[in-house]
């Protein structure tokens, strides 16, 4: 009976290893990067492409990470003061723990969005400078 258990566990382990090896994503590593725009290949005289930058910048408004909402909500009057979660209760009382991961993550996400918005603004300005009619761009 012991040999049967050993054989079953060996069979299960080899089947799991085969599934991992067969479904490996090795080929995906050779694909070109998605969403990467080479600066040399951008034609700033085609002002219709300027709208793509605007859409991308506005999309960042809808791509806020989940931890932002509870952290900002406990500071307002729209929820109960953080319930039984000590770090959020402290946040509601304006006492901040510098080691609380949620503060760092929220501010890093906000600053990352601000940097991307400024980059989009700079790229849109390049379209305006190189447009055939800058007054209409």
Place of tokens 């761009």: 137
Give Cβ neighbours of residue 97 (< 8 Å, ≥ 6 apart).
Answer: 87, 90, 103
Distance, CA of 128 to CA of 136 (rounded, Å)? 8
pTM across the whole model: 0.57
Give the rounded percent of residues in the chain with a pLDDT score beyond 90.
Answer: 4
User: What is the pLDDT, as a whole number, of residue 44?
Assistant: 79
Distance, CA of 124 to CA of 121 (rounded, Å)? 5
């Amino acid at each position: 009976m012991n040999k049967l258990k050993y054989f079953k566990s060996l069979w299960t382990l080899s089947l799991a290893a085969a599934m991992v090896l067969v479904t490996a994503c090795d080929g995906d590593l050779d694909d070109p990067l998605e969403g990467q725009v080479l600066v040399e290949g951008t034609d700033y005289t085609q002002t219709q492409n300027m709208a793509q930058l605007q859409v991308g910048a506005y999309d960042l408004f809808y791509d806020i990470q989940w931890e932002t909402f509870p952290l900002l909500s406990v500071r307002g009057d729209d929820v109960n003061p953080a319930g039984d979660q000590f770090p959020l209760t402290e946040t509601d009382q304006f006492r901040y723990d510098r080691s609380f991961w949620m503060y760092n993550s929220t501010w890093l996400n906000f600053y990352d969005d601000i940097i991307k918005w400024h980059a989009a603004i700079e790229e849109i300005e390049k379209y305006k400078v190189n447009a055939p009619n800058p007054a209409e761009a």
